[in-house]
Structure 1
């Protein structure tokens, strides 16, 4: 969003080549051209939502369906192995994440899905297991991919693009958060799953000096974002 704190955060990260700007390629998604030097803006029609989901979050699936359409139309994702969607207030450590996604370094999933991933269906990353502590199991939708950081392989996002309409018929997407919709869709498409817990305050949190995490959230002002980034990269 161009109003509020997000644009300032993005500019500060760009200045330090931090967050998504440490990736091999990047773009920003907005309702208007942001005119940041060397950064492409992918335009979507709206970021407005109304109401709440059952867990009190925004039912923003329609917005991010448009955002993924803009990524598809841009096409640059096809040159890369993984696609990442990060909120501006997520402190992302790209080099740390790359190591964990490298074949041979990928950790064993403590919450393996009850199916063998389909050949060519790709992989995605769940990052929160809070509900497991409440006695809820994998079949109830957990662990989940929290939307502060979504990590999806090129094959998996292509799989989603090819089957988006089918997923919409399988999942009540209009009243859902985009992260819940995408995770459920990829599970129904039987994509492979990794689990990389992140230091998200909505999922138990994590201090920025704990290098077991590849991301920390939320840091909604420049000072706290940069402090966390500095502690994590020290």
Structure 2
């Protein structure tokens, strides 16, 4: 499970850390601390992720893959379950995982979407932030997930925002029994699980025989629009921690966590341990999300690291 099932990965942090044998963090020039606020008392972490995505777009490694996945460290993620969903939504610019809007535990973007984000960074005077997405949005009390969702859908007007509820099961999006991790054999991710024991129990439960989620087909849809970039050979995203693609070909396989999705990966993890987040609430205010914390309260130490998961090599039918 998680990003460790991916064929490629990268870990981003504001400190140089060895995450595992042969895996060191990539440095993001930003503090990873933030406050909380808004109607849901969410982590106000948009600027942190602006710094992380700047590093990602500059590194250019995401361009090896067709899809990019960012996942939180307390998110149990099964990359193999994402593959058929991506095939079915091959023309999507990115995947919306909840009817209420994109939720941050796992985010799935096409390479074309990240290319467009990189162009917006290039339009700013110093290249440190996406020019239009910062200028044209009042995001002071938003979490990073709302910022990126509105940036892509409203400001940059990306076509084909696909809504796919099978991607995420969490209490904040009509999945109150998330903790049993039995919401369907095709459910990609569950969130949140703050301890190693709870995380492992979720994996064990999810891998037992369960039928597919009955609501998935009825609520899955793709909005009309132009095709997104899907011709690349891999998917940058996926389970766990890394920047690039799950199970597949020439990627960067490995075992880390990184900005592109992967389960268990979260933007700002603690100093290399699993609990990157504090005990605070999740982006939409509720029982604990990831954002920051190396085991402590909600925000976290400068040692925290961003974990990205990665993806799958593109496959043809």
Counterpart contact for 1:26–1:39, Cα < 8 Å: no
Structure 1 stretches of at least 4 aligned residues deviating more than 6 Å after TM superposition: none
Counterpart contact for 1:62–1:174, Cα < 8 Å: no
Tell me, in whole angstroms, the C-alpha distance in 1 between the residues paired with 2:47 and 2:141: 9
Q: CA deviation at 1:40?
A: 4.0
Q: Choose 154-163 or 43-52, whichever is displaced more.
A: 43-52
Name the residue aligned to 1:21: 4
How many corresponding residue pairs?
Answer: 189
Tell me, in whole angstroms, the C-alpha distance in 2 between the residues paired with 1:62 and 1:183: 14
- Extract unaligned runs of 5+ from structure 2: 121-129, 209-317
Q: Choose 77-86 or 170-179, whichever is displaced more.
A: 170-179
Tell me, in whole angstroms, the C-alpha distance in 1 between the residues paired with 2:46 and 2:141: 8
Please state whether the residue corresponding to 1:184 is helix, strand or coil.
Answer: helix
1:181 aligns with 2:151: no
Name the residue aligned to 1:134: none
Query: In 2 relative to 1, CA 38–174 (structure 1 residues): closer, same or farther, beyond 3 Å?
Result: farther
Name the residue aligned to 1:190: 157
Q: CA deviation at 1:39?
A: 2.7
Tell me, in whole angstroms, the C-alpha distance in 1 between the residues paired with 2:23 and 2:140: 31
Deviations 1:70-119 (A, max 9, x none): 212222111001111100000011010011101xx239xxxxxxxxx9xx
1:41 aligns with 2:11: no
Name the residue aligned to 1:230: 204
CA-based RMSD: 1.9
1:99 aligns with 2:84: yes
Please state whether the residue corresponding to 1:85 is helix, strand or coil.
Answer: strand
Counterpart contact for 2:81–2:186, Cα < 8 Å: no
Q: CA deviation at 1:183?
A: 0.1
Query: In 2 relative to 1, CA 33–201 (structure 1 residues): closer, same or farther, beyond 3 Å?
Result: farther
Name the residue aligned to 2:38: 53
1:217 aligns with 2:185: no
Please state whether the residue corresponding to 1:175 is helix, strand or coil.
Answer: coil
Tell me, in whole angstroms, the C-alpha distance in 2 between the residues paired with 1:93 and 1:31: 27
Q: Which has the higher helix share?
A: 1
Give the TM-score of the pair, scaled to structure 1: 0.75
1:159 aligns with 2:116: yes
Please state whether the residue corresponding to 1:181 is helix, strand or coil.
Answer: helix
- Extract unaligned runs of 5+ from structure 1: 1-17, 108-116, 130-142
Deviations 1:102-157 (A, max 9, x none): 1xx239xxxxxxxxx9xxxx61111112xxxxxxxxxxxxx311111111111001
Name the residue aligned to 1:168: 134
1:204 aligns with 2:161: no
Tell me, in whole angstroms, the C-alpha distance in 1 between the residues paired with 2:186 and 2:86: 14
Specify which structure has the bigger relative contact order, considering alpha-carbon pairs within 8 angstroms and separated by 6 or more residues.
2
Give the TM-score of the pair, scaled to structure 2: 0.56
